[in-house]
Amino acid sequence: MNAYLNDTKEWLIDFSGIITFFVLWELLPRIGVIDAQFIPPLSVVIGALWTLATVGGGLFIHVAASLQRIFIGLGMAIGIGIPLGFLLGGVFPALSRQLRPLLRILGQINGFSLFPIFILFFGIGEGAKVSIIFWSSIWPLLFTTIAGIKQLDPLYVKSARSMGASRFTIFTEVILPGAAPVIFTGIRTGATHAFLMLMAAEVIGASAGLGWLIHNSAVNNIIPRLFAGVISIAVLGALLTYAIDFLEENLLEWKPTANKKNS
């Protein structure tokens, strides 16, 4: 019983900020502190979300369209950024130093500012939208992978070589596990950037997606539906982050073991 009460107490502490925020969201518009025309009560937004999900509002169609763009863009960024990071950080470190200023400059360019160029190359269809997400996601993945390789202690590699380990074994048993925590940080950052750019990608030339839903609701002054779309994006982003954390905890089994030994 005491354990259950302690777990409940910890849960309330962890989520107290969210609970307080939702309570204020419900109360402040109703008592007139906030104009309910611009920020409706949470219950009204939840009602709009329920209508979108159940009464032919097409919420799941919008969610599926957005997730497809996220997974394609982020997946391409992972498939290109991480191998390229290993090449520049581990195989061609001199080339990495030469390209560092150029890569930093390219990484500072906002993907939405390149949208006209993406449209020129890919048209106004899915290619341009996926390209914005890809561009925004690849840079944190690339930079963190390079950093993860460089922060690896060279003594580990030398020790593996002295014991006769092959290059493949050194990569899979030493380099990859050593750089993996930093790489997962890059994946989380890339996923965050992908969701940030999702609305910008879906504003132009889309007929479905959560970004399109938010934009369309704003244009037509359907404020509850607008906030319903915002909540949906926030929930999807949080779920994706939790999924990445789950993969990291289960794939990097040595990490919690090390922590237990240190404690």
CA distance between the termini of the chain: 28
Q: What's the confidence (pLDDT) of residue 93?
A: 83
The answer to whether residue 122 is domain-embedded is yes
14 within a domain of the structure (yes/no): no
| Contact (CB, 8 A) for 140 and 84 | no
Domain membership of residue 33 (yes or no) is no
Range of the domain at 118: 43-251
Q: Does a structural domain hold residue 34? A: no
Percent of the chain at pLDDT > 70 equals: 91
Q: What is the tens place of the pLDDT at every residue in 91-102?
A: 888 888 889 889
Counts of helices then strands in the chain (DSSP H, E): 12, 0
pLDDT confidence band for 145 (50 / 70 / 90): very high
Q: Residue 11: is its pLDDT beyond 80? A: no
| Three-state DSSP state, 127 | helix
Q: What average pLDDT does the chain have?
A: 84
Q: What percent of the chain has pLDDT over 90?
A: 28
pLDDT value, residue 10: 73
| Lookup result for tokens 């997400």 | 133
The total domain count for the chain is: 1
pLDDT of residue 4: 66
pLDDT at 116 over 90: no
Quick one: average pLDDT of 12-38? 87
Task: Say which residues have a Cβ less than 8 Å from residue 88's Cβ, sequence separation at least 6.
Answer: 95, 96, 99, 142, 146
**Among candidate residues 58, 35, 86, the one with its CA nearest the CA of residue 212:** 58
* pLDDT range class, residue 257, cuts 50, 70, 90: very low
pLDDT score, position 24: 93
Q: What is the mean pLDDT of residues 173-185?
A: 87
Cβ-count burial 2-18 (b if 16+ within 10 Å, e if not): eeeeeeeeeeeeeeeee
Question: Which residues lie below 8 Å from residue 140, measured CB to CB, with a gap of 6+?
Answer: 186, 189, 190, 193
Q: What is the mean pLDDT of residues 218-224?
A: 88
Q: Is residue 83 part of a domain?
A: yes
In a domain, residue 61? The reply is yes
- C-alpha span between 193 and 176 (Å, rounded): 24
Contacts of 89 (CB under 8 A, 6+ apart): 96, 145, 146, 147, 148, 149, 150
Q: Dig out the tokens for 22 from the structure.
A: 């939702």
> Predicted confidence band at 68 (pLDDT cuts at 50, 70, 90)?
very high
- List helix spans (H) across the chain: 2-30, 42-54, 59-86, 93-107, 115-122, 126-150, 154-162, 167-170, 176-203, 210-219, 223-251, 254-262
234 vs 229: CA distance, rounded Å? 9
Tell me what the mean pLDDT of segment 251-260 comes to: 52
Q: What is the pTM of this model?
A: 0.81
**Within a domain: 117:** yes
Residue 173 resides in a domain: yes
d(CA 201, CA 111) in angstroms, rounded, equals 9
Q: What is the CATH number of the domain that holds 128?
A: 1.10.3720.10
Nearest to 73 by CA among 138, 145, 152: 138
